[in-house]
Structure 1
């Protein structure tokens, strides 16, 4: 069965989601959440991935991020997975996977969908009924974007800065944008694109992608590429 395509490009924003296996929790306490965020920040710096927004829920993670190269997000998520799962398994005396397969990612056309994706991510806790105001959820980037705390995990995108010439103007404009909420059509489009690994962009934007990038969107078959399977001399023997 072919693996679904996943297109990741350097210097482009991407919506990333990683879920717990069978929707199980990936954090059980604030100590777990702090450890996860510390490892996320360190891994993002190491692999040169700018984090524009995040929310760490009990059983999944959302990121809005831009890698400096096409391998950055994969390396970030692999590093984070290895480090955190090892730490988590040791702490809770468990074994095995924590994640629901590989992470999902969707290329985001910044001009058209970046701010909508930012709002979608930061409204996640309020939409889930965890808090009444999204900035009250500690494990999200929302409070930082509203000027209520600093956050060294974040690297704000130029589109967020374009909301105003001063921090006060940006915070005021972003609060008004948050208060508009996420429409059902917008929610469905953002959710389906990331779960399917499909780029969220216009036809014009797709046409401007390099041929190599478009080729990478084609499903890859499982197993070895053709011609790489070694041939062995047949030896007659009884089955074990």
Structure 2
């Protein structure tokens, strides 16, 4: 049976998830996280893809990516990320074979409200998984940048919804932090999870 085509919309953000093969660990040590982020930083402009958010968990990744006019750029960036990370980990661990489970999953984000909600969903992943009590305590997510806590992630693109939160960086970081720590509407997480699974 042929695979269903993936829906990718030009100039729209997408929630992208890729898991380790058989849910195996993909990021075992700090060097693994850093290498993946370096690849993302290096090739996002090459493929004309904006990166609005991310969270690297031990066995999967969440990304908020927006392709430009050429929608193929999103797939090409994901292929580059997966290939380079696989070769890096295989070299480090003297292993061979695949690192990732099949194809990545993606879901277009079509409303402005949903974009901020999706970023919150991604950045709260470590809290939901019991890996951190606070998103600020987890170093491998874009919350560090959006909350004004880590200048190393200044290469992230600023999405228009985040930008509209205030006239200054201080206003934006304060309002976004309040949004992340605030009450989450019932059903929001299930909606986002189901969308990316489809």
- Report the TM range for the smaller structure's normalisation: over 0.9
Question: In the alignment, which residue of structure 1 is the partner of 2:5?
Answer: 5
Per-residue deviation, 1:52: 0.3
* Residue of structure 1 aligned with 2:164, choices 158, 162, 165: 162
Q: TM-score, normalised by structure 2?
A: 0.94
Deviates most, 54-63 or 126-135: 126-135
Match of 2:82 in 1: 81
Tell me how far apart the structure 2 counterparts of residues 132 and 112 of structure 1 sit (CA, whole Å).
25
**Residue of structure 2 equivalent to 1:227:** none
Q: TM-score, normalization: structure 1?
A: 0.78
| More displaced 10-residue stretch of structure 1: 100-109 or 176-185 | 176-185
2:74 is the counterpart of 1:70: no
Please state whether the residue corresponding to 2:115 is helix, strand or coil: helix
Q: Distance in 1 between matches of 2:114 and 2:77?
A: 23
In structure 1, the gaps of 5 or more residues are 197-240
Higher relative contact order (CA 8 A, sep 6+): 1
Question: For 2:5 and 2:113, how far apart are their aligned partners in 1?
Answer: 22
Q: Are 2:107 and 1:106 aligned?
A: yes
**8 Å contact kept, 2:40–2:81:** yes
Distance (Å, rounded) in 1 between the aligned partners of 2:51 and 2:187:
25
How many residue pairs get aligned? The number is: 196
* Alpha-carbon spacing, 1:110–1:171, altered in 2? closer, same or farther (3 Å): same
Q: Which has the larger radius of gyration?
A: 1
